Structure 1
């Protein structure tokens, strides 16, 4: 006996497949939504952590800027204190400069030289006078240049003039020059530099061991 199924099984099968497809689509959509939410949460957490790190770095930079400013202010105060200390030391040392200056001029002035003016203005000394010849003036300038207390002598004027009248008239050289005078700390610095240079030269002259 032949059995014939008259029910619409194809339509039922098609409907079942369609329902399965819709179910899969809904599941895929739900899964995609969950994944997007999870990724967004991870990104949000990372952004929040990065924002916190940036805020921390900013605060640390501000603190560092404050400390740098404090250090700069301290350096300025230290430099100002050093400048004041140096000024006091220079004033104390400068009190003895006239004595050193006069002793040095007496020691350096050659025969045939007559000084008419000695005037100090800061660290420069103006000197005027008469000499028997140009060579005497040149010798005096050389002596000033080689002195440890004097520096950079400069001739302002050097000319022949007549002094006296009649039989007492003489032909002399009138000169006008200025020269620098060193401070004691400058002499100490120069002596220390010379000592270091001598030590380096001595060490370089030693024979190298094989």
Structure 2
């Protein structure tokens, strides 16, 4: 006997395929959601770690800037202390400058030279006086240039004038010049610099 299935098997098959499709779509959606959540968690962890590293670097940079500022302030304080110490040493050394200056001028002044004014302003000395001739003034300037205590003489005025009246009148050279005076520490620095070339051959390496 032949059996005939009269049930709508095509519709049933279609419903079954549709149900499987929906199940696959749901599974794919869940899997995609899980992947997105996992990737987001990884990115969030990396971002959090990078944020922590950035915060650590910023903290270290701030501490380093503070230390640099402290070092700069300390350097300024040291420089100010050195400046004050140098000022005190200069004051102590400058007390003897008038003595050295007078001794040096007496030693350097040639015959036929008469000084009328010696005035010190800082490290420059104004000198005025009379000389028998222009050559006498020139000799005096040359002597000042070669002095270890004096430096950079500069003639301000050098002219012929008459002194006295009648038979006692004399024609002399009136001069006005200024010259620098060195401090003891400048002389010591110059002496040390002069000794350096002499020591270099002894310290030089043999080829």
Q: Same fold (TM over 0.5)?
A: yes
Whole-angstrom distance in 1 between the partners of 2:91 and 2:195? 27
Task: Please tell me whether residue 82 in structure 1 is matched to residue 88 in structure 2.
Answer: no
Whole-angstrom distance in 2 between the partners of 1:144 and 1:203? 34
Corresponding residue SS for 2:70 = helix
**Post-superposition offset of 1:126:** 0.6
Task: Please tell me whether residue 190 in structure 1 is matched to residue 190 in structure 2.
Answer: yes
Structure 2 residue runs of 5 or longer lacking an equivalent are none
Structure 1 residue runs of 5 or longer lacking an equivalent are none
Corresponding residue SS for 1:4 = coil
Whole-angstrom distance in 2 between the partners of 1:153 and 1:15? 119
Task: Please tell me whether residue 9 in structure 1 is matched to residue 9 in structure 2.
Answer: yes
- Which range moves more in the overlay, 100-109 or 57-66? 57-66
Q: Deviations over 1:40-84 (max 9, x none)?
A: 111111122222222222222222222112111111111111001
Matching residue of 2:167: 167
- Which range moves more in the overlay, 143-152 or 175-184? 143-152
TM-score by length of 1: 0.92
Q: Deviations over 1:137-196 (max 9, x none)?
A: 111111111111111111111000111222222111000000000001111111111222
TM-score by length of 2: 0.93
Whole-angstrom distance in 2 between the partners of 1:117 and 1:137? 15
Q: How many residues align?
A: 207
**Post-superposition offset of 1:109:** 1.0
Whole-angstrom distance in 2 between the partners of 1:143 and 1:2? 150
Whole-angstrom distance in 2 between the partners of 1:180 and 1:198? 28
Whole-angstrom distance in 1 between the partners of 2:148 and 2:179? 12
